[in-house]
Each structure stands twice: as structure tokens, then as C-alpha cells.
Chain A
Amino acid sequence: MGQAQHAEAVIEIRDLNTRFGPAIVHENVSLAVDRSEIFALVGASGCGKSTLLREIILLQRPVSGSIRVFGEEVLGLSEERALPLRRRWGVMFERGALFSSLTVSENVGVPLREHTDLSDRLIDELAAVKVALAGLPADAGPKYPSELSGGMRKRAALARALALDPELLFLDEPTAGLDPLSASGIDELVRSLRETLGLTIMMVTHDLDLLWRTADRVAVLGEGRILGMGTMEQLSASDHPMIREYFHGPRGRAAREQQWNQK
């Protein structure tokens, strides 16, 4: 694969190897995420999806390989050099990771206060905009994370991830632990974010509904490798046993039927 082929690639991973002691997590994993694409990583629990995500966002180091984000190699990047990159992406953690001693709007304001010289009034207003964008009611702003339900906490985490208007958004299990209504709210939110803000979104998820409704391309991770990559239609036509098992289990079928009914 030449560079020119992926001129528009926002994330480009090549020959990535990760090991935890003797356990091989990733073996020669390569993938590319294009601009304004919703890219999903799926796979059984413990197959290294979240590890891959953590490696891209510089929280963990692989053994070897290359990860380029916005065309810049992130492995071995100094903290100083990593900062401009970090500002261009937003991360929503699986369990929210909201700062428990700050209110929701203060949480959203943290990146703004840290990285911009906006007035306090504007920061508060922008935080309110992000809180609303993430689908939270306005009265959630002054609340502390411990006073929110799980779904609201997720939305608050998303609001914080959106604080700096990132170009690239990482979502770790955006719908896990949500009721179906909130989960489908997240589906719409993810799609509208891409359409209105032109975001590139990379997510790790188990939620087949979310995959059918939002993902442009999906990579199935298993046995340390990428077992298949493509649109949901392509993957569900795949005859790889593990992929079939994943997409054609009872839940997979239900999600696909629902998708067809909607169409």
C-alpha cells in the first residue's frame, strides 16, 4: 500500500504487534480510517479492541509497528509533540471517566479552559452547547457526575469529548449499559455528528444495532488479527466462521432484520 492510496487516511495502522508478556494481543494488524468515516472495531471481549484504541490515543505502547494519525507517526512521540495531536481528537471512555469533583458543565469546560483563552462566560455557554449537543437536558449542567444516571454520564462524557470541536472522535463502547431508547439516541447522535461536523469517528462497540445504523466500515478483530473488514453488508456475507458467528447469532439477525424493516 503506497502513501498516495491513503492520502485522506486519518488513522493508518501498519503491522502493529502488541504483546502482554507471552500473550499475543495483536499480530501484524493493519488498517486505515478515512476522513469523515465512521469506523467500528468489533470482536469478542478481550480480543484487543480497546487495547488498539488505547494505543492510537497514546495511552499504551505496542511492541512494534506504526500508527499514523493525521499523517503523523504517534509511536514514540514526546508529550510535547503529542499535545497538538491530542487537541485534535476527543475521547469518550467506556465508563465516562468524568472528573467526579466537577459538575458536568465544568467537566466539559476543562479542555476549553486548558487549551483556549476564551472568556469564562463563553466557556460556560459553549459547555452548555456541547451538553445540549450530546442530548442532555440543560439542568444536567450544574449536576455532579454521581448524581447522573449511567446513560446521562455517557452523554456528559461525549460532551466533554466534543469540547474542543475535534476532527476525530474515539468512542469506547458508546452504547454499553444504556437502555434501548438512549442507545438509539446515541446512534442518531453519532450520525448527526458526522454529517454536521464532518467528524471522523472510530468506535469500539458490541452493539450490532449501532453498527448497522451508523458504521461505514467495520473491522472484526480476532485471534490477534483482523479477520475481516468492510461494510456491514459485506461482513455479514462473509463465510469466515468467527465473523459468521458474530453477525449471524440471534442478536445479529434481529439487528439486521430491524435495519431492513427500516429501509
Chain B
Amino acid sequence: MARDVLIDLQHITKVFPPDTVALSDASVSFAAGEIHAVVGENGAGKSTLMKVFYGLERANAGEIFLRGTRVEFRTPREAIAAGIGMVHQEMLLISEYSVWQNIVLGAEPVKAFGAIDIRKAREAVRQKIEEFQFNLDPDSLVGDISVAARQKVEILKLLYRNVSVLILDEPTAVLTPQEIPQLFSELRRLRDKGHTIIFISHRLDEVLALSDRVTVMRRGKVVATSAASDLTKEDLARLMVGREVLFTSRRQPQEPGEVIFRASQLRCSDADHRVKLQGATVEVHAGEIVGVAGVEGNGQFEFVNAIMGLAPVTSGTLEVKGRDITHADVLARRALISFVPQDRGKMGASVGATILENAIMTHHLLDPSFTTGGGLGLDYRRAAAFTEQIRNQFSVSMGTAGDQFRSLSGGNQQKVILGRELLLDTPFVLMDQPTRGLDVGSIEYVHQLILDLRARMRAVLLVSADLDELFMVADRIVVMYRGELVANLATDETNREEVGYLMLGGEEATHAKTSA
């Protein structure tokens, strides 16, 4: 069934200063009333293409047509006025405001003297909620509702402004497997009412399940567009990466060694005295990878902070190689733990510093060969040699050690961080979302590194929101729910549905399942 072309993007080129080519002569068209997915690995340009269309970025070259007329949105406001709305990956809502305040912000009904007509606003919001059957309370604070609910608020915000085209950027990244079907049925309902849905994703199963047509991008170019029914997952992956991609685990069976890391009944409270960890207990053996699954916000971050000594522990113990580190300071723990944090820029590096300065952190405290003059001075020659070692051993594509860290691509930044941490040669390695935001090539590389660690009998605790990653790499999977580790499953004896169910608070099934 041929549909009319609604949006036509032609020959779009975009360069980010100083030298990142995000889009190179990309062309794609979207039809009215369809669900159209744009897929590609991280850095392929799919988000950028939509941002250019939406007015968040200015293209360096190319033209955009809406219903046959040339348009150029200079700000999102213009796009919204034309009936186009975008829900971003990092949800842009104000936690301090209520649902209705967030929805009407920017288009508030007013009374005299600019005062907001609260009654009118709440009525309008309630109407929209009922029209689209979204199940939200207009007065609840956005900071208090679930992630899936927040996503609905974002969508409703756009529907309130009567958009007919919805662009969703990685909408399922923050949802559990159980919440995804609800989102999909809502999107299908919108399509059936005549809306056009464009959704950006790298989750191939979902893309094939939901969309009518799929466009594949690679390295800033559009590689293919076709009906979803004509493609398989392998086709998509091959188009995305340009070669065959394995979807099965490369894990070799291996007998684990002694217990290296043990957390017992760990309890932790946050700044407002809310209990965040309710007695976490887990063991990691040498030569074993234990994955921690869970919806973000169930205590994983506090767990990681407690292990590293960034947050105090109310009760319980932490041990590495038999040594009690429950109340040890950060440096004492670092002698035993390598740590790859979840936020490269905020926790893993100083982006304004040089690559060398980032590479030697912690080594400068633990390794006397890095200091001179009785510990007062830094041996910069040794530091440069060490940076070189990281570059070679971890295949980092970089200029010189004196370049700024931020000049590296995301994947290379992560490689430097991994190099620094893994060369600490500690028995225990803690990784938090180590492949977040990386391209497929880098993700493969990191997974191989993790498996190497396992082969060398180091103990790895891997916290990840990506179930595919956990199933590829981990020997055992534990699930964190409301501050407790509620399940401890061997990967080979469970599947994604069971883990997803546990992530939402379900009970563990008593019989073994076959792997998916």
C-alpha cells in the first residue's frame, strides 16, 4: 500500500567542529501514517539527522521538504508549529514540576496579568490523557513517577500541541522488556489515528516488531530503506555494520576459582535518609563474570558507590580477597579494585585534561615508579611511556599524549579508561555500563577484553542495563530490584523474559528455562 511522501530529507551534510563528519549526503523520505524506524549503530548519524530536521542543529548542506514545500526549521518551536514533535533520548522534563505544568510549559493558558489559568490547563491536560488513554495523574510530580510514565508525559506534551508527526529517539532504552509492549500498542494506536511515527533505535528485534518501514544508516550515510517485512535481523545488522555480526556468545566454559569479591547484607542510605540498598549479597569468583541487571534507579548506582567507598555503608560487609574493605578509604580499595564508571565524562576522566594526565590517575598513587624526588614530583617521562603502553596494548586511535582527552572519540576515550584501570592489575574489576554510547566495533572490543579478563582468572562484576550484553558475556546474572539482589541465575539456565520479569519485581520461576 503506497502512502504519500510526507517528509523528504535530501543530501543532508553536517560537520561538527572541529572535524567530526556526522552526516554525509544523507537522503531519506517518510510517508504519512506509517511507523518508520531509523536504525544504525552509535555514531551512525541517526539522531543527528533527526535533530537537523527538527531544528536543533543546522545542516551544512541539503534540503528538507514537508508535504512538497521546502522548509527549514531554525528552532524546535517552528517544527512544533508545523506539526512535528520529537521526544529525546535524555528525557527533557522538569522533575520539580507536575505533569500538567510540564505539558503546558511554553503554551500555557493565561488569565489577566499573565497569571496561569490553572483550571483550564489541568482540564486540557486531562482531556488529552483520556483521548489517548495514557493513564497519568496530572498533579503528580514528574520527579516521582516512573520512567515509562515520564515518557508518556513527553509524548503527551507534543500531542497537546497537536503534532501529527512524532519522532522518538531510542524510546525503549529506558524501559524494561515488560514495558515495551505497552509503548508499542500506544504507538500503533497513534498511527491508526493518522499520526506518523519515526523512531530511532539500535534494538533490531523491536524495530522489526513495530515498524512498517526501516531505514539503515551507517557512518553518516543512508544505506538502505525497505519494508520491515522484507528484512531479517541479520540483514539489518549486516547493513548497519557492513559485515557479518555474531549474535551468539563467545564465552568458553571455564571453572571459576576462589571467591575474590563478597558483599554481605550491604545496606546503604542516600542523602535524604532513604534506604537505597536493602541488604545486597553477592559473590564473584576468580575467572567469573557476574552481571547485575535491573531497571535504572533500583540501587545499582548506590551499590557501585558503596563498593568504591564513595558512599558510607550503614551495615553489612565488603571483602576483596579476604580483606575487609567495608570502611576502607578509596585509595585502599583501589589497590584491589579496578573501576570503570558509568559516566566517562563525569566520573571516569577529566575531559579538559590531557590524555596522559587521565592515563596516570591512581597509578601515580599506587606505583612508586611514577614519582620522583621522594614522592614529591611526577615522573612525566614514565607517564608518557605508560600512555604509549596503553595506546599500543589497547589499540587507541589518538594523536599525542599531550592532546586533550576530549579530542578522542567515545570509543577511544573508553579504551584509555579501560587501559588505565585494567593495567592496575587488581584481582577484582567493577564495570558500570562499560559499552554505553559506543559504536558496534568498540562494543565488540570491550566484550572481548572482558572475556580476556575472565580467561586470566580475574573477577568481574558487570553492571549493565543491556540484557543482550549480559547474556553474551556473563556467567551468572543477578537482578537488582528495590535495593536488593533478588535473584542469582546462571546465564545458561535463564532467558531475557525471565530476567525482565524479575527486574520488575516478579518472582523467580522454580524450574529451569532453556536459553533464548
A and B associate in one complex: no
